[in-house]
Every structure is written in structure tokens, then in C-alpha cells.
Amino acid sequence: MKVILITDVEGLGARGEMVEVKDGYANNFLIPKGLAVRSTKGKAKEAAQAAKEKIAKADRELKRAEDAAQLISGRTFEIAAKVGEEGKLFGTITPKDIATLLEEELGIKVDRKKVHMDEHIKMAGFHEARIKLHPQVEAIVHIKVIPG
């Protein structure tokens, strides 16, 4: 079966290429995973156009994520929190708080599930969180928790 690859598939080809694969491989893996689209007689142009559109959309999403990562990287964000003795917070700072902070400060919408921290922040001081903006793009957020 001939398919047009939407993304690079290791050992098979680069995106946008038309390749010949076994029917089972195409029907059970490539097409359901969104890695390729079927190329049939009379619809090859349509499939190629659809593949190009998916490629263009994926490129736009990657570019948007890279731009957001550049905006985030290298910056330190301050969060004011009630602090008790020895710098312990009353409560914690969670991924949701960081996602809200990024949206308020930079206008970048990030799902709280894409914010990864070793544990919730419970102490004043400097901390880091990883933001998964795209499967290929990750940014590090520096957070300074100050008494407030």
C-alpha cells in the first residue's frame, strides 16, 4: 500500500514522502497514529494536499512553541506568598499556579498538566519547573517565591 508520510518515521522516510509499505503496517500503525495518510488512485493529489496541510499545521505549532520557549527561558518570575518561620509557606505553589502566572505575565496559555515539578513548592526561595510546550519543545521556568 502506498502512503504519504505526515511526519518523519525512522527507518521508513521523511515527511511528505510517498512510500510503499505492507497493508497491516499502514492500517494498524501508521494511519491510526497520524504518521501517514493513504494514497489511492485518483486521490493521490488530495492525500498529498492533506498531508501538506497537516505538515504546515505541525510546523506552525512547533514554531509557536519555540517562540513561547524563548519568551519563557532565561526569565525569573516572582510569586508572593504568605511565609511562616524558616521560610515555610502557608500552603503550596502548584502547577496550576505557575500556569496561571504564565498566562497573566506573558499571555501564554499552558495546561497545568504540562507543568512538571519534582514536588509542589513549600519553601520560599528559588525553584524550577519544566513546561512541556510541544512534544519536541520544553522550557525551564525559574520561580522566586518571596514573602508577601
Q: How many domains does the chain have?
A: 2
Are residues 82 and 108 located together in one domain of the fold? yes
Cα 137–Cα 124–Cα 97 angle in degrees, nearest 5: 45
- Answer whether residue 43 shows pLDDT above 70: no
Domain final position from 17, 44, 63: 63
Are residues 89 and 117 located together in one domain of the fold? yes
d(CA 21, CA 31): 11
pLDDT in tens, 6-41: 888 899 988 778 889 999 999 999 999 989 888 876
SS3 86: helix
Would 68 be classed as within a structural domain? no
- Estimate to the nearest angstrom the gap between the alpha carbon of 53 and the chain centroid: 20
Would you place residue 64 in the very low, low, confident or very high pLDDT band (cuts 50, 70, 90)? Answer: very high
Q: What are the Cα distances from residue 24, in Å, to 6, 17, 20, 28, 39?
A: 18, 19, 12, 6, 15
Give me 37's grid cell: 495518510
Share of residues in the chain with pLDDT > 70 (%): 97
Are residues 52 and 116 located together in one domain of the fold? no
Which residue did the predictor score with more confidence, 130 or 17? 130
Instruction: Find the domain containing 140 and state its range.
Output: 73-147
d(CA 85, CA 100): 27
Q: What is the average per-residue pLDDT within 96-110?
A: 91
Please state whether 11 falls in left (phi above 0), alpha (psi between -120 and 50) or beta. Answer: left
Share of residues in the chain with pLDDT > 90 (%): 49
The CATH number linked to 30 is: 3.40.5.10
Are residues 51 and 91 located together in one domain of the fold? no
Are residues 80 and 143 located together in one domain of the fold? yes
- Looking at residue 84, its pLDDT comes to 87
Domain final position from 40, 63, 86: 63
Would you place residue 42 in the very low, low, confident or very high pLDDT band (cuts 50, 70, 90)? Answer: low
- Answer whether residue 87 shows pLDDT above 90: no
Are residues 79 and 111 located together in one domain of the fold? yes
